[in-house]
Structure 1
Amino acid sequence: MPPSLRFCDFSNNKLSTFYFGIPYLSMLNLRNNSLGAYLSSKRYTNSSKTELREIDLSLNLIQDLSVDIFHGHVYVVKINLSHNRLTDVTFDLSHLVSLERLDLSYNNISGRTSQISMDTLHKLSKKSNLTIDLSNNLLKSSCQNLIFLQWVDVNFGLLVNTDQYTCQFDNNDVVHMTNVDEIVKQLEKECSSYTTLIICITMGIILTCVILFVALLFRYRWRLRYLYYMTRHKYNVLKGIKSSSTYKYDAFISYANDETDFIVNEVIPKLEGDGNMTLCVHQRDFIAGEEITQNITDGIHQSKRTICILTRSFLNSYYCMFEFNMARMESIYSRDGQNIMFLIFYEQLRPKDLPLVILE
Structure 2
Amino acid sequence: MVFARYLWLLLYYAQYAGTQLMKDYEDITLSILSPPVDEASLALPFNMGQDRTSGCFCRSTSRKDLVVCFGNYECAKFPKINIGVCDTLVVRTTVISQITVGDLDQYFGLRALKIDGNSRLHTLQPGIFRNLSNLEELSVSYNTQLHYLQTHTFTGMGFRKQPPMKIMEMIANTTIRRLNLADNQFELITDDDFPYMPNIEVLDLRRVFAIAVSPYAFNPDRFPKLRILLLSGNNLPGINIYHISCQQLLLLDLSSNKGTSSSSLYYEIDRGVFSFCRDLRFLNLAYNRIKHIYNYTFIGLENLRILNMENGTLFHIGLGTFKPMKHLEILNLGNNPLVSSENLTSSQFEGLNELKMLILRNCGIKRFNDDDNMFEMMPNLTHLILTNNQLFYITVETLKPLKFLKVLDLSQNLLVSWWQPIFLASGIQPTKLYLMNNKISHFSLGMIQDLNYLLEKYNASVEIDLMDNLFICDCNSMYKIYTWLQVNGSDILKKYFAKSNILCSSPDVWEDRRVADFMSSIKNLRCFVYQKFSTAMLLVWTAPSLVTIAFLLIVIFLIYRYRIYIRYWLFLAKVALGRSFIRRTLKADNLNKAYKYDAFVSYCNDDREFVLEMISQLESQPPYLKLCIYERDFEIGTFISEAILRSINESRHIILIISNGFAKSQWCRWETHLAEYHRLFLDDGTPHDPLVLIKTGEVENKYLTTTLKYLLKTKIYHSWTEQNSDDFWKKLRNVLVKNK
Question: Structure 1-normalised TM-score?
Answer: 0.50
TM-score (ref. length: structure 2)? 0.26
Structure in which a larger fraction of residues adopt helix? 1
